[in-house]
Copies of this chain bind each other. A is one copy, B any other.
Amino acid sequence: MPLARRTDLGDSAYAGLEVDVCGDLQRCLADTLAGGLDFLVAPLAHPRHRRPSAAAASRDPSAPAPAPFARSDLLLNSAQWSSQVVGKTSPWIDADSPSAPYRADSEAALRQELGWAAHLSLHAVLLPPPRLGAANYARIVCQFLGALSHTALWVRVPLVDPASLASAVDACTRRRIHDPFEAWAFLRAACEGHPQLGVCLHVGASLPSDGELARWIGEPVRAIVVAEDAFTTNKRGFPVLPKRHQEFLTSMLRRNVQVPTPAEAAAQAAASTGSRDGWHSTRRRWEYLVYLFRKIPDATEQELVEAGYRDYLQAPLQPLMDNLESATYETFEKDASKYTCYEEAVLACLRDRVTDADAAAGKETVLMVVGAGRGPLVRASLRASERCGRKLRVYAVEKNPNAVITLQSLVAAEGWTNVSVMSSDMRAADPPEKADVLVSELLGSFGDNELSPECLDGAQRFLKDDGVSIPQAYTSYLAPVTCAKLWNDAKAYGDLAHMETPYVVKLHRCSLIADPAEVFTFEHPNHADVVDNSRYAKLRWRREPRSHAATMHGFAGYFDAKLYEGPAGNVHCSIYPPTHTMGPTGEPMFSWFPIYFPLRYPVHVPAGCDVEAHMWRCIGPSKVWYEWSVTAPDVGPIHNVNGRSYWVGL
């Protein structure tokens, strides 16, 4: 009974059984698979094997050779070992014990067991929960991460409500001593966020607050163990999870997290005694989890399209330097909600500019679409014109000669006699008359990042003095984020440039550390004496004294554009979460993914500590770029100095 044949939930379609004792590994694994599970989490060493200290062993050379500490690798074939077994290390190991001999034994055992797991090419090893400051454990993990080829290390982290813990804070490191997250963050920092180091959350009876849970979304959580005590029993005697547990588990399953189910003691015994009682109750909990999994709604068509883009780093477009390809236009044109917004904006604008009487008298409005592409804004404008009975003369200006061909064909096919196509860069175009309305869709994920300000400044010279630009204004927003995967993906390129480049990303395994703050605003037309599109913003995200600790991997950026605001209407187009534009079917507009600005080094944000950052929009003779830096909780380097790593060409 594998969970389901679903491709949209990735690794979460894999679930396992965790046992503490496993007398007969072959039978135990066979039972697990027969029970519908995909893998077994079993101890790497014989549970009764307690490695005597090296000193003690050497003292008695006449003692019999010790039994091997683990089972023979011949018990299973290598495909089974590598795909159906996750190993777990011995529970007695404490590599940071204050007792030096105990520590030495622990270290030797940990090395032996990890070495064995690597020998078996296991998919993963489940490691014990780290303690804050456990540097020796961190170092051993770090050494293995550098040597392992494909075995992942999952560190078990208990998910406990920090409110229930002593709130002691280490004055020097500002870390909450009893918060398991801090211990995990310590380990991760020591290992520099190695991509093979992941978390296995251990969910018990109590759950932290929603905010505390949310911070795990951006962390590399690979698996969740739902402990027996997390379950309650319903009226019919079946195990069920409380509502918040259900919600959290569902949200993690949607993010491709696997679920090893711990077997209770009886079930463990079952493997060797043949008793089915314990197994029965484990199975019931398992069936409940399957039920939860199946309840997750199937992905919508749009979600399936986007699934391939989730947490995938894309370099932002360079629309001024490059010509878009047909497929890119097609992708953009798919999002009806965006063009509905534009239609509404043009509609309101026309109603405000042309009275009913003037409209009846046949007054024409000159509307210019700059960057007309394959014509969707022309179509939206014409639809608005039709709806309100205001006549238009339309100029469609487009620099891409390939798109101009589509545009000309479209005009001919549709019989749009009032539309003139101009094949020209808007900064150099020379239209025969000035426009009442200038319509453009030049915004990037961060608003101005595809150089809309520079383009519209150039184009506004063919706008009448009282002419209107659609959009009239746009504002960018930034929020500090946890997104271990994105950071590691940028890091994997192995150079500075990729750590100083903003990316367009469908954020999925990403948690915001604070609400997005306003960054830059641009207004059009710009009637300033000296137009200056350079910008500087100092951003401070206030966090409550009782807010939790988090790891910052960079910033998520959004925009909100005011397409048109006037007596006849106020139309925005936005990917800024609080005002995100919704399509007619209730789906969020998907034309723009957010933008991700990475940090070269992850920053630990202590509990209750504000985040402060600086963002600059810089302008040179031939390029525009951003620079950014963090100055609280600590001062970091300035990123992308002089646009050395990333810039947009003018």
Contact = CB atoms under 8 A, between A and B. Distances in A.
Interface of A: 54-55, 58-59, 103-104, 133, 135-136, 138-139, 142-143, 146-147, 170-174, 185-186, 189-192, 528-530, 532, 536, 538, 601, 604, 609-610, 612, 614, 616, 627, 629, 631-638, 641-642, 644
A633 B133 CA distance: 12
A635 B193 CA distance: 12
Contacts of A632: 170, 172-173
A454 B399 CA distance: 74
Given A139-B616, A173-B634, A192-B637, 15 more contacts: A135-B538, A138-B638, A139-B638, A142-B638, A142-B641, A143-B642, A146-B642, A146-B644, A171-B609, A172-B610, A172-B632, A173-B632, A190-B629, A190-B636, A604-B634
Contacts of A638: 135, 138-139, 142, 190-191
Nearest to A606: B172
A471 to B, nearest CB: 23
| Closest 7 pairs between A and B when the two form their complex, measured CB to CB | A189-B635, A172-B632, A135-B614, A192-B637, A172-B610, A142-B638, A173-B632
A172 B612 contact: yes
B635 A55 contact: no
Residue among A528, A538, A636, A638 with most chain B CB within 10 A: A638
Contacts of A143: 641-642
Given A143-B642, A146-B642, A642-B146, A55 B529 contact: yes
Copies of this protein in the assembly total 2
Contacts of A637: 189-192
If over half of A's interface residues share one DSSP class (helix, strand or loop), that class is named, otherwise mixed; here it is mixed
A532 B635 contact: no
A601 B604 contact: no
A103 to B, nearest CB: 8
Given A139-B641, A642-B146, A173 B631 contact: yes
A532 B104 contact: yes
Contacts of A54: 530, 532
A635 B604 contact: yes
A170 B170 CA distance: 17
A490 B638 CA distance: 21
A550 to B, nearest CB: 14
Contacts of A186: 631, 635
Contacts of A538: 135
A137 to B, nearest CB: 11
A142 to B, nearest CB: 5
A246 B532 CA distance: 51
A148 B172 CA distance: 38
Identify the interface centre among A171, A172, A173, A609: most chain B CB within 10 Å of its CB: A172
A154 B614 CA distance: 24
A644 B143 CA distance: 10
Contacts of A616: 136, 139
A54 to B, nearest CB: 5
Contacts of A532: 54, 104
B530 A631 contact: no
A340 to B, nearest CB: 37
Given A172-B612, A173-B633, A636-B189, A641 B136 contact: no
Contacts of A614: 135-136, 139
A612 B133 CA distance: 10
24 contacts: A55-B530, A58-B529, A58-B530, A59-B529, A104-B532, A135-B538, A135-B629, A135-B631, A135-B638, A136-B536, A139-B616, A143-B642, A147-B642, A171-B609, A172-B609, A172-B612, A172-B633, A173-B631, A173-B634, A173-B635, A190-B636, A192-B637, A601-B601, A604-B635
- Give the residue among A139, A528, A633 with the most B Cβ atoms within 10 A: A139
Contacts of A529: 55, 58-59
Given A59-B529, A530-B54, A190 B635 contact: yes
A604 B637 CA distance: 13
